[in-house]
Amino acid sequence: MKQLLITNRRMIVKWLFAIHLICLAICVVLLFSLKRSEHLRWGLGYMIVWVTILSSLVLFFLINKQFKHWLLFKIYCAVFFVASAGFSVFLQGQGLDTLLPPKKCCSDGDYLIRQEMDEPAIGNYLIVLLKNEGIIEKQIEIYCYPKADSIKVVEDKGAVAIYCNEIEPFWCNSKRCLEPLNNMKAKKNEIEKLAKDLKVDINYETFHF
């Protein structure tokens, strides 16, 4: 019975360590392949980060003298957990979304708005327009607004209407404003007609006509 328990323990440690390394590799790939404001959908990226960090803590308590090089593994797990958890909590406190996703404000079809902090020292918030593409929330545009209560995306005109119910935007004195969907050149007459139809103002400073 004792031998069976040892065998089972070794198997659990083996698979958990494999999961830990796989998740760690995925974290590295995501770090260098996604923009800061982009995410995996359904919170998958944050799940992977949590599994990577917490698996090292579990392994620390599972590994004992029955394992080869057990002391080295324990040191690795302890250092990794303290360093990664501490650094992640620090970055989260600085406004960077390492452990928890930024707040989702609103959405329109495959498009959604998330709120992110630009300058944590002064609490300057930006909103990021993202589009669901496969398993990725792909960054489309960043706007200098403190929040957005709702949006209306018009892809064929390359514009998005942003509605704020209470707090006025930083760049525009209107609570209902039309912004460019991307940096492509827009047709002024089409944008003005769209703004009239949607009953919003145009932020002429951000459009390229």
- Angle between helix 44-62 and 70-93 (nearest 10): 140
What is the number of residues in the chain?
209
Residue ranges of alpha helices (H) inside the chain are 2-33, 44-62, 70-93, 188-198
Distance of alpha carbon 191 from alpha carbon 188, whole angstroms: 5
* Type and span of the H or E element at 127: strand 124-133
* 18 class by beta-carbon count within 10 Å (0-12 exposed, 13-18 middle, 19+ buried): exposed
Which pLDDT belongs to residue 119?
A: 56
Residue 130's φ and ψ, nearest 5 degrees, are -120, 155
3-state DSSP assignment of residue 97 = coil
3-state secondary structure of 122: coil
Amino acid, single-letter form, for residue 20: H
**Which pLDDT does position 1 carry in this prediction?**
55
Q: Is 69 left (phi over 0), alpha (psi -120 to 50) or beta?
A: left
pTM: 0.81
In this prediction, residue 123 carries a pLDDT of: 54
Q: Cβ(80)–Cβ(56) under 8 Å? A: yes
pLDDT of residue 98: 83
Q: Along the chain (209 residues), what's the average pLDDT of each consecutive run of 10 residues?
A: 62 89 93 86 93 93 79 91 92 79 90 78 74 93 87 91 76 79 84 90 86
3-state secondary structure of 96: coil
